[in-house]
A and B are shown apart, each in its own frame.
Chain A
Amino acid sequence: DGGITQSPKYLFRKEGQNVTLSCEQNLNHDAMYWYRQDPGQGLRLIYYSQIVNDFQKGDIAEGYSVSREKKESFPLTVTSAQKNPTAFYLCASSISTGFLRGTEAFFGQGTRLTVV
């Protein structure tokens, strides 16, 4: 079945450590996104990518990094520079071209990151 998979579901990190969240899709989507969700706040865009080997910063990119070496994969690294990394992280993918952008974006089930 086609879909988008995030792993792990829960992740614990010690302060000062980098950690990488995985996002894989087999929907043949060009566009992929990372969002952060905090209690009482909406989905804030961290990074997005429209095509392989290219990505753009969103609204809260500081302390995060991404790569897009394959169409199917868009991993997010939370670095030690991120001051408050404890949050729920959502990955999404969609068709990126023209009128097909109006089709549904598919979301993973999220990763809950906790700094201990």
Chain B
Amino acid sequence: AQTVTQSQPEMSVQEAETVTLSCTYDTSENNYYLFWYKQPPSRQMILVIRQEAYKQQNATENRFSVNFQKAAKSFSLKISDSQLGDTAMYFCAFIALFSGSRLTFGEGTQLTVNP
């Protein structure tokens, strides 16, 4: 079974600065997807970005980008030009491409953007 680990329970960053959230995972699968979801105080889960394991190019979505290191099983999220609205809990998640349909989440990182 796969596991997802986020080793930073809390992080803070000043507005307009850059922050990186870490995520590692363990799996025997070769084909899978990785995600970062955001949960603001409203508790509604929002997809931030996703990465296909078979793609070497790192995914980017506006101010959000990932550093995907497949051999190291590492999947970090970089947020550039942080905004107050980025304050939220961030979850890393994993799903295998072909075996089962289990969507597994990490423990989450609470990010606070300070003015």
For chain A, the bracket of interface size reads 20 to 34
Please indicate the chain A residues that have their CB under 8 angstroms from the CB of B52 in the complex: 102
- Of A19-27, A38-46, A60-68, A70-78, which stretch is located at the interface? A38-46
Whether B44 is near chain A, meaning CB under 8 Å from some CB there, is yes
The count of chain B contact residues (Cβ–Cβ below 8 Å) is 25
Chain B: residues with CB nearer than 8 A to chain A?
Answer: 6, 9, 33, 35, 43-45, 47, 50, 52, 91, 93, 95-98, 100-108
Interface set of A (CB-CB < 8 Å, partner B): 30-31, 33, 35, 40-45, 48, 50, 56, 58, 88, 90, 92, 94, 96, 98-99, 101-102, 104-105, 107, 109-110
Q: Are A99 and B101 in contact (CB under 8 A)?
A: no
A47 to B: closest C-beta gap in Å: 11
Main SS at interface, chain B: loop
Q: Min CB distance, B52 to chain A, in Å? A: 6
Indicate whether A102 sits within 8 Å of B50 (C-beta atoms), given known contacts A42-B91, A107-B45. Answer: yes
